[in-house]
Homo-oligomer: A and B are copies of this chain.
Amino acid sequence: MSHSASSSVHLHRDMPQIPVGILGATGTVGQRFIVLLSSHPWFVIQVLGASSRSAGKPYKDAVRWKQTTPIPSSVASMPVHDCVPEPFKDCKVVFSGLDSDVAGDIEAAFRAAELAVFSNAKNYRRDPNVPLIVPLVNPNHLSIIPQQQRVHLNPTSRAPQPLSRGFIVTNANCSTTGVIIPLAALERAFGPLESLMITTMQAISGAGYPGVPSLDILDNIVPYISGEEEKIEWETLKILGGITEEEIEAADGSGKTEKVKKFDMHTNSPLRVSAQCNRVPVIDGHTECVSVRFARRPPPSPQQVREALAAFTSEAQTLGCPSAPTKTIVVHEEPDRPQPRLDRYHQDGAGVNVGRVRQCPVFDVKFVVLSNNVSIGAATSSIINAEVAFLKGVVQA
């Protein structure tokens, strides 16, 4: 499959070249970052970081490459560094594909070193000062960053001083990302949702490499993915909810008040979410069966839902992010689509597919969502998040 040379490449020839680094560059997500960034119109891979086992080797000797395209020649001989801030100091953006068992400390250290970290790891998703951004849904949550920078003071300055360039932005879990895009489209068109039932059928690539043993999944389904249901149920609320401001007593003991931003977790209109997650023998592409109940009565018809989904345009696209899909949501009319094998690579996997929109006898409407978990569900989201951050001036070239 081609993840290269989209037409957008040519539209941005005059863009400044922006040096970026990749943490966890030898892992599954790191390899995807490399494939995607090696043909990116703005971002230029400058530094690769991985575990100390790999550090010092040329990338091609450190990696067990599992992509369907060869290692980009521009990257093959790059040295791999330890995941410490020093070699990354000139990177305007650092993408993190680190495993969660090490991501916490490393990403914090990079932020403290005034680096802008766009992370695919789960560690900071629940942090009240870290935005959890699906770029086609809630890039406005970048507005929490100044508060994050005030909380995490620059450790190298003499007087306590907020960070000026360092921060962490996370993207969502792959199964959350797929389903939340059409859900956001529905809320935008028809107001708040009230209840959601989601059953997922998730690809093996979502578990990384070596990941799922073949003896566990060939001719089989595993009806359980550790922590996954909780992620969908919680992340949905943080992403779809807004940001509110509260006046609280200042921490400096002055008796003054200060304004604090807070993710409202959709509390203004409570939303109940129930997820059931399954691993299936599919290589790429998460399929999700969704049933929704709207707060508004009467609810929209299936046809209205179909139209709203097809019409949805993300801010990432409006801003001109080069990696954003032309069509955020492809609505299928055939009775048996979307299907992972046939639909996962459309638009290089940057959009999502919805089909089978129909009445639900219990809730209002039910439908099927397919998203590419290794593209929009992972590395592509981090990259579009960084693109948005540049276009909004949150990061300077």
Contact = CB atoms under 8 A, between A and B. Distances in A.
A213 B215 contact: no
Contacts of A291: 197, 274, 276
Contact of A66 (B215, B335, B340): B215
A363 B204 CA distance: 29
A345 B69 CA distance: 8
A360 interface: yes
A339 to B, nearest CB: 6
Q: Which interface class (under 10, 10 to 19, 20 to 34, 35 or more) fits A? A: 35 or more
Instruction: Tell me which of A2, A5, A199, A339 has the highest count of chain B C-beta atoms within 10 A of its own C-beta.
Output: A199
Given A197-B291, A215-B209, A281-B281, A361 B221 contact: no
Interface in A186-227: 195-197, 199, 201, 204-205, 209-224, 226
A334 B121 CA distance: 27
Interface stretch (A111-119, A240-248, A282-290, A301-309): A282-290
A11 interface: no
Nearest to A196: B362
B362 A273 contact: yes
Nearest to A7: B5
Contacts of A366: 274, 276
A338 interface: yes
Nearest to A223: B368
A335 B226 CA distance: 9
Interface string A245-275: 0000000000000000000000000001110
Contacts of A341: 68, 218-220, 283
A34 to B, nearest CB: 16
Nearest to A275: B361
A355 interface: yes
A338 B216 contact: no
A215 B205 contact: yes
A265 to B, nearest CB: 14
A222 B337 CA distance: 7
A362 B281 contact: no
A15 interface: no
B362 A274 contact: yes
Given A68-B341, A342-B68, A281 B223 contact: no
A346 interface: yes
Contacts of A4: 2, 5
Instruction: Tell me which of A272, A343, A361 has the highest count of chain B C-beta atoms within 10 A of its own C-beta.
Output: A361
A338 B280 contact: no
Interface in A312-341: 335-341
Instruction: Tell me which of A204, A211, A342 has the highest count of chain B C-beta atoms within 10 A of its own C-beta.
Output: A342
Nearest to A198: B199
B223 A218 contact: no
Given A341-B219, A342-B68, A356-B223, A204 B199 contact: no
Contacts of A205: 215
A393 interface: no
A201 B361 contact: no
Contacts of A209: 213, 215
Given A1-B1, A201-B201, A223-B337, 9 more contacts: A66-B215, A211-B214, A212-B214, A223-B355, A226-B335, A233-B361, A274-B291, A276-B368, A280-B281
